[in-house]
């Protein structure tokens, strides 16, 4: 997920209340619930102000919690507040979806949504019933399967096992108790079992490393053995990828973390070149959510949703077009197009 600061005139909050009100209503926020808005001292205050106003208009009990940016998070009361909330909306520079107190809140029945994408993305990728339907249907299929296979004409041939890991539907709203989501998301995901990824991933020209804010200029071949990258072949893009991962000095930074496919026709594959915010990664949600693309993420998968065991500071999203995917013997994607009717 993108997690960057976005700056704008604070007066914009007035105009954004209706946008946040729609998204909160799709999260099923009602007048008898408590909505907690969380931000920090480094994040754009416009989002939290607009969210606060929207929740109040919906009649919910609402307040805002502001965390310090460059100091340790509080050890007292913060987590208690999260567990009391029915809906948590967080727009922070922290990755709170990795925090143990957030996990406890979800276990209690809170629901949560992360809001960190640029305003243009929030406006375009609001919650949509068709995206929600398609994503949930995809997660249902994934939850019935164990083996995942990905192939492409460019040379990708990867196999992995889901095992007991959750089959996740992320569709942009926190609509049921215990669910954590991300505004703009439209992905079916799982953290495959550690050591189960075998084979070759080929990033073709035009595929994306959205964490770099970069499209591939030439093919990159990445070979996996027991989920660990054993070599990266290619030109400049391969050199950048090799050096970036090596700089972590961490064996876990070389391991495949999770796998997903995108489900939203509105998501813009060209967002990385259209992004008006000059920080790498801010347009990542468009790439991840793009209809029919397949992602292999390198690095951490130990967040609240994925429940994986790979702990690393690395988290690198590699997304591919025109690829095919099977769940056991069922073909789900054929060269970037969905095969089952319920996913179309």
- Render pLDDT for 14-52 as a digit per residue (tens, 0 to 9): 889 999 999 999 999 999 999 999 999 999 899 999 999
Return the CATH architecture of domain 10-116: 3-Layer(aba) Sandwich (3.40)
What would the pLDDT profile of 124-159 be if each residue is shown by its tens digit? 999 999 999 999 999 999 999 999 999 999 999 999
Query: Where residue 5 falls among pLDDT bands split at 50, 70, 90?
Result: very low
Alpha helices in 99-212 (DSSP H): 100-108, 119-124, 129-143
26, two tokens:
């799709």
Task: Look up residue 181 and give its DSSP letter.
Answer: E
95-112 pLDDT, tens digit per residue, is 899 999 999 999 999 999
Q: In angstroms, how far is the first alpha carbon of the chain from the final one?
A: 24
Q: How many CB atoms lie within 10 A of CB 231?
A: 12
| Residue 240: how many other CB atoms lie within 10 Å | 16
**What are the backbone dihedrals phi and psi of residue 16, each rounded to the nearest 5 degrees, phi first?**
-95, -5
Beta strands in the chain (DSSP E): 34-40, 61-67, 87-91, 111-114, 147-152, 157-161, 168-170, 180-182, 187-190, 198-203, 208-209, 214-215, 220-225, 228-234, 256-262, 294-299, 315-320, 323-327, 330-334, 337-338
The residue length of the chain stands at 344
Going from N- to C-terminal start, the domains of the chain cover 10-116, 129-343
Cα angle, residue 49 at apex, residues 46 and 53 outer, rounded to 5°: 135
Place of tokens 């813009």: 268
Dig out the tokens for 199 from the structure. 């084979």
Per-residue burial over 45-80, b = 16 or more CB atoms within 10 Å of its CB, e = otherwise: bbbbbbbbbbbeebebebebbebeeeeeeeeeeebe
Q: Which residues contact 278 (CB under 8 A, 6 or more apart)?
A: none
- pTM, entire model: 0.93
Chain segment 122-131, per-residue pLDDT in tens: 999 999 999 9
Q: Which tokens belong to 244?
A: 């970036």
Nearest to 272 by CA among 320, 211, 323, 221: 211
Over residues 300-335, the pLDDT tens digits come to 999 999 999 999 999 999 999 999 999 999 999 999
Res 78 pLDDT > 70? yes
| CA pair distance 322, 262, nearest whole angstrom | 12
pLDDT tens for each residue of 200-218 = 999 999 999 998 989 999 9
């Amino acid at each position: 997920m993108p997690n960057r600061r976005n700056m704008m005139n604070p007066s914009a909050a007035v105009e954004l209340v209706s946008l946040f009100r729609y998204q909160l209503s799709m999260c099923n926020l009602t007048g008898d619930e408590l909505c907690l808005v969380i931000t920090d001292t480094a994040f754009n205050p416009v989002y939290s102000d607009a969210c606060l106003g929207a929740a109040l208009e919906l009649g919910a009990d609402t307040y805002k919690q502001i965390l310090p940016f460059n100091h340790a998070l509080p050890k007292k009361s913060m987590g208690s507040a999260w567990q009391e909330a029915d809906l948590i909306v967080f727009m922070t520079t922290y990755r709170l979806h990795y925090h143990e107190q957030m996990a406890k809140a979800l276990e209690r029945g809170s629901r949560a949504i992360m809001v960190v994408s640029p305003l243009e993305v929030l406006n375009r990728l609001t919650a949509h019933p068709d995206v929600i339907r398609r994503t949930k249907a995809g997660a249902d299929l994934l939850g019935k399967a164990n083996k995942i296979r990905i192939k492409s004409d460019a040379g990708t041939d990867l196999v992995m096992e889901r095992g007991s890991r959750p089959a996740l539907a992320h569709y942009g709203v926190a609509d049921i108790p215990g669910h954590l989501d991300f505004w703009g998301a439209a992905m079916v995901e799982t953290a495959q079992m550690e050591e189960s990824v075998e084979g070759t991933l080929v990033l073709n020209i035009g595929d994306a490393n959205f964490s770099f804010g970069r499209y591939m200029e030439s093919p990159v071949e990445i070979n996996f053995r027991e989920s660990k990258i054993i070599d990266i072949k290619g030109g400049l893009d391969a050199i950048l990828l090799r050096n970036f991962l090596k700089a972590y000095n961490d064996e876990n930074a070389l391991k495949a973390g999770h796998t997903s496919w995108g489900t939203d026709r509105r998501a813009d594959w060209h967002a990385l070149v259209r992004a008006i915010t000059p920080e790498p990664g801010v347009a990542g949600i468009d790439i991840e959510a793009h209809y029919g693309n397949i992602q292999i993420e390198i690095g951490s998968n130990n967040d609240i949703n994925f429940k994986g065991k790979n702990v690393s500071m690395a988290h690198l999203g590699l997304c591919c077009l025109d690829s095919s995917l099977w769940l056991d013997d069922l073909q789900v994607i054929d060269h970037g197009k969905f095969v089952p009717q319920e996913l179309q």
